[in-house]
Amino acid sequence: MNLIQQIRSSIDSVLTDLYQVESNPDGLLVSDTKKEHEGDFTLTVFAIAKAARKSPEQTGQEVGEALTSRFPALFNRFNVIKGFLNLVLVDGVWITNLLAAPYSEGVLSTFMVEYSSPNTNKPLHLGHIRNNLLGHSVSEILKALGHPVIKVNLVNDRGVHICKSMLAWQRWGNGETPVSSGMKGDKLVGKYYVIFDKELKKEQAELIATGLSEEEAAKQSALMTAVRAMLLQWEAADPAVKELWARMNGWVYDGFASTYARLGIRFDKIYYESETYLLGKKIVEEGLQSKVFYQEADQSVWIDLSAEGLDKKVLQRGDGTSVYITQDIGTAQLRHDEFHPDQMVYVVANEQDYHFKVLKHILTKLGRKWADGLYHFSYGMVDLPTGKMKSREGTVVDADDLIEEMVAEAEKLTLELGKTQGMDQEEMSSLYETLGLGALKYFMLKVDPRKRMLFDPKESIDFNGNTGPFIQYTYARIGSVLRKANAEEAIARASYANITQLHDKERELIKQLARYHESLKAAAKDFNPALIAHFVYELAKSYNSFYHECPIMKEDDKEKAKFRTVLSEKTADKIQQCLHLLGIAVPERM
C-alpha cells in the first residue's frame, strides 16, 4: 500500500465510524495541498458533509480530530479552510516513504505502439522528430508500469508519392547516387521529390495557359499519367521498376537508420506497406462478398459510413491499385494475428483523425472484435517561427540539420558558461551531443501532445528555466555532490533513528519524489509524456532549493549529512529515470 492509499484508507475508516458512511477509498477527493496553505494533502469534504448532515467546516474539524487521535504515527496536525481539510503528516512518514520500495501495478495489458511511419520519398523532418519522441516516450512510460510493449514502425514504401521520386530520378537524375553526390540517401531521394513537384507545376501552368482549367490540367498531366503507369507496373512486379524501387528505398533506409540511431529510436518490428497491402486487398474482397463494401461503375471499391456521421470512403481505385487505408486494414490484421495486443496505439498527427475513425469503423463492420482496442494517439502539429512546413516545396526542417543546429548551439552556450573545465575533446563532444539532444527532446515533450506547438531552437537551450539542460545540469550537480560526499560509504552507514524533524526543503523534496508514481500512472493513462516532463522539472527545482539551504559537506550533524546524501542520491536516480522515459541522456559532469 502506497502513501496516498494509506491516507485514503485511514480517512475511510474514520468516516465509517463517525458517520456510518460507506465510501470507496479510491473515490475520496484527496489532493496535494495548495502551496499557500499549510498541509501535505487536502481532503475535500463537501460531499462527506452532505452525507453527515453537518456544515463542511464542522465535518472537516471532526474528521481532522479523529485522524490525528487515531493515527498519530501518520497525521501530525490539521487545519480546515471552508470545505477543505488540510492534513500535515508526521516527518517520520516522509522519511519512511523515501526508503520504501516501489510497488507494481495490478492488471497489465499488452500495448503495440506504432510511431515514426515515414514515407520513403523524403528524409525525416521536424514533424517526424515529435512523432518519434512521443511514440518512444509513451512506450517507455507504459513499460515503466510493467506493461508489455511492442514498438513498431510502418514504412510507407509504395504508392504514388514514391513513384514521383522514382520518375524524377529516372528522368533528371543522370545516375546520381549517395556516393557520387555525397548526400545521405534519404536526402537525395527527397531532392527528386521536390524536383518532381516543380516540374509538375511547370507542366500544369503551361496547360492552363492553353485555356484549360486547373482540374483539366491535372487530368491531362503527362507526368502524373506516367506516375500512375509506374505504380501499375510496380504492382504487376515489372522487374525494372521493382529494381529501381528497391535501390532508391535502400538509399532511404540507410539514411533513416543513421537519424534513428542519433535520436536513440529503436523498434521491435518494422512493417512495410509493400508487404501488407496485398492482405488489405484480400480483406477488401472479403468485404465485397459480405456486402460491407460496394463497387462503383468504374470498379472502384467503397464503404458508406454516412450513418456513422462520416462519409463515403474509397478502399481500392478503379484500376485495382490500393490506397493508404487498404494497407492499414491489412497491417492491423497482420499485427493482431502475430501479437494479439490488447491495444494498438497509432501515434499519428491530428491531420489524420478522420482516417483512423474510418479505419476503426471498417474493422468493426468486418467483424473484428479486437478493433475496440485500436486507439489513435492524435497529437498536434509543429510550427516554426517562420510558419508551416511543406514537404513538396522543400520547406521542411530536416531532422539531421536540426540536430546539428541544436548540438552547435549547446556547444556555444556551454563554452560561454565555462562548463567544460577539465574535459578532453572527446568528453566535450559527448557533452554537447547530450545537451543538444536533451534540449530538443525536452522542448518537444514538455508540451501537451494534443496541442499544436511552436518550436524555437534557441529558446530550448538554456541552463535556467523549464528546459532539458537545466534538468541535466541539476543531475550533474548532484553527481558532483555525491562524489565529494563519498556517497557509497555515507549511504551504507546511514541511519535515520535520530532524525525526528525535517527541514522544510527536505520535506518538500521528499514530497516531490513521492509524487512520481502518481505522475507516471497519469502519464500512462493519458499517453502524455508532458506530465513526466513537468514532474522532473519540479523535482529539479525542488532539489536546487534544497541544495542552497541544506548543506551536506558543511553540516556538523553527521547523521543529518548522511541523510541528505541519501536524499540527493534518490533524487539523482529519479531524475535519470524520468529523463530515460523522455529518451534523454544525462551528463555525469559539467
Convert 125-156 to b/e letters by CB count within 10 Å (16 or more is b). bbbbbbbbbbbbbbbbbbbbbebebbbbbbbb
- 3-89 folds as Gyrase A; domain 2 (3.30.1360)
Is 292 exposed, middle or buried (CB count within 10 Å of its CB: 0-12, 13-18, 19+)?
A: middle
Q: Residue 418 to residues 263, 325, 413, 479, 542: CA-CA distances in angstroms?
A: 26, 54, 9, 18, 25
Contacts of 251 (CB under 8 A, 6+ apart): 177, 178, 185, 186, 188, 189
Q: Are 375 and 344 in contact (CB under 8 A)?
A: yes
CATH 1.10.730.10 positions along the chain are 399-581
> pLDDT-derived band of residue 560, with 50, 70 and 90 as boundaries?
confident
Q: pLDDT (tens digit, 9 = 90+) per residue, 53-100?
A: 999 999 999 999 999 999 999 999 999 999 999 999 999 888 888 766
> Where along the chain do the CATH 3.30.1360.70 domains lie?
3-89
What count of other Cβ atoms lies within 10 Å of the Cβ of residue 23? 16
Cα distances from 192 to residues 11, 111, 389, 402, in angstroms, run 67, 37, 18, 21
Mind giving me the DSSP string for 344-402? Answer: EEEEEEGGGHHHHHHHHHHHHHTT-GGGGGEEEEEE--EEBTTB---TTTT-S-BHHHH
Q: Which CATH architecture describes the domain 399-581?
A: Orthogonal Bundle (1.10)
Question: Dihedral through CA 270, CA 271, CA 272, CA 274, nearest 10?
Answer: 150
Rounded to the nearest angstrom, the gap between the alpha carbon of residue 16 and the centroid of all alpha carbons in its chain is: 42
Torsion of CA 264, 574, 143, 96, to 10 degrees: 170
Distance CA 294, CA 312 (A): 10
- pLDDT, mean of residues 271-290: 94
The whole-model pTM stands at: 0.90
| Tens-place pLDDT, residues 526-552 | 999 999 999 999 999 999 999 999 998
Distances (CA, A) of 409 to 79, 406, 477: 50, 5, 21
Compute CA distances 564 → 91, 237, 482, 492, 494, whole Å.
14, 68, 10, 13, 10
Q: Which cell is 22 given?
A: 460507506
Give the pLDDT confidence score for residue 4 in this predicted structure: 84
Calpha distance 31→541 (Å, rounded): 21
What is the pLDDT, as a whole number, of residue 509? 96
Amino acid of residue 475 = Y
Q: Which pLDDT does position 175 carry in this prediction?
A: 95
Average pLDDT, the chain: 91
CA distances in angstroms from 312 to 173, 329, 358, 373, listed in the order given? 40, 16, 9, 24
The three three-digit cell numbers of residue 561, written as one number? 549529512
Distance CA 308, CA 316 (A): 21
**Alpha carbon of 453 to those of 263, 379, 446, 456, 457: distances in Å?**
20, 10, 10, 10, 13
Percent of the chain with pLDDT over 90: 74
492 pLDDT more than 60 = no
pLDDT the model gives residue 328:
95
Q: For 410-457, what is each residue's pLDDT tens digit?
A: 999 888 888 788 888 999 999 999 999 999 999 999 999 999 998 877
Of the pLDDT bands very low, low, confident and very high (cuts 50, 70, 90), residue 296 is very high
Q: pLDDT class for 143, splitting at 50, 70, 90?
A: very high
Task: Indicate the pLDDT class of residue 101, thresholds 50, 70 and 90.
Answer: low
pLDDT exceeds 50 at position 388: no
